[in-house]
Structure 1
């Protein structure tokens, strides 16, 4: 069993991306699976191209992309990716697509087949704040999740894949009043437990995980 897990480089004026730093700190084996850790550029289209190259190189069974969601309190596995880029800020190469389809021949949305509720349950059981998220945004995080699920649908049906958002770490919020953060150690632990649940649960569990807007 191989698990490819990726983290984005820093973006939006930040000097560090907790997603990438947590990915780097993961063990090389989790729940008996080989963990392949890679960096992805925070750039529209180039991120998907890089991910496809990594899939071709490593032939993983599971792919999990990880990104920063400043303002969130918890580690949040994403349920769905939508076929739209609508960038509030430019990416790391100055691209800022507005109301643009990611793939013209793709579905309006793709749902992950990762066991997101089992992932959340495993994190909570180990005292890591976590919940299911129903929106990955419309920046490069949604872009890479959609691209991954599109590639699975079109070319790699044997792979399971998805996306996890993580909060800021404390050093990022020193000048951001009333902004939540989580220690890098807890984020790394959360990813470890999420991977464990993904490896051990082919099907998701049935438990409450919805939200009231």
Structure 2
């Protein structure tokens, strides 16, 4: 592995319910073709729509790649824009997954905080991408839906102390093509990395004065 490169992990979900082809995984595969520039090592993973799989897979991604950022992508049948989720929530998981399971506790981490925010300023990412003339609308949400998307996001936020992001995409063709969604993911994640670099820069500047 090239250590001068920064690792970024992006996940999409496998099929579930009426989503026999999951737009999130299709979009992530399109992103993989485009890449995130020469200084980023991009790793993509498909996540099964199962709570227990998420609980073992998400920590293993952090361990394996020590990524700067993990971005989870999911599909939402209600979304008409590419939607940036600000936070993950711990409680209220009653929906059964692909193996007809849901956690007894109905929460992600017993005793964890109710809600964890991403360290990334999603409003800022949203404004910048919308101003860039990408041709794909981006919006921000505070509710990732209390299913596998939200569950995965919270789990990742909890493990990474907020260094995770979640992006909801609409189903394919409603209205965007897989190429559109791939370009949108690329633009959004590049903005996220840019903001993280700026924040990092500020921290270094402050350290020099102490």
Same fold by TM (over 0.5)?
yes
CA deviation after TM superposition for structure 1 residue 70, in Å: 0.8
CA deviation after TM superposition for structure 1 residue 32, in Å: 3.0
Is there any run of 5+ residues in structure 1 with no aligned partner, and where? 154-158, 171-179, 205-213
Q: Return the alpha-carbon distance in structure 1 between the equivalents of residues 92 and 71 of structure 2.
A: 20
Match of residue 16, structure 2, among 11, 19, 35:
11
Verify the 8 A CA contact 1:28 1:36 in the aligned structure 2. no
CA deviation after TM superposition for structure 1 residue 111, in Å: 0.3
Q: Return the alpha-carbon distance in structure 2 between the equivalents of residues 97 and 54 of structure 1.
A: 22
User: After TM superposition, what 4+ stretches of structure 1 lie above 4 angstroms from structure 2?
Assistant: none
Verify the 8 A CA contact 1:68 1:165 in the aligned structure 2. yes
Match of 2:192 in 1: 198
Q: Are 1:110 and 2:110 an aligned pair?
A: no
Tell me the alpha carbon deviations over residues 171-196 of structure 1, each in whole angstroms, 9 at most, x when there is no partner. Answer: xxxxxxxxx43221111111001111
Tell me the alpha carbon deviations over residues 81-113 of structure 1, each in whole angstroms, 9 at most, x when there is no partner. Answer: 11114334x211111457712111211110011
Match of 1:145 in 2: 153
Q: Return the alpha-carbon distance in structure 1 between the equivalents of residues 71 and 111 of structure 2.
A: 23
Pick the structure with greater CA Rg.
Answer: 2
- Decide which structure has greater helix share: 2
Is there any run of 5+ residues in structure 2 with no aligned partner, and where? 1-5, 200-210
Match of residue 99, structure 2, among 76, 93, 103:
93
Verify the 8 A CA contact 2:11 2:71 in the aligned structure 1. yes
CA deviation after TM superposition for structure 1 residue 119, in Å: 2.4
Match of 1:166 in 2: 169
State which drifts further: 79-88 or 2-11.
79-88
Verify the 8 A CA contact 1:33 1:199 in the aligned structure 2. no
Q: Give the alignment's TM-score, normalised by structure 2.
A: 0.83
Match of 1:208 in 2: none
State which drifts further: 21-30 or 133-142.
21-30
Verify the 8 A CA contact 1:65 1:163 in the aligned structure 2. yes
Corresponding residue pairs, total = 189
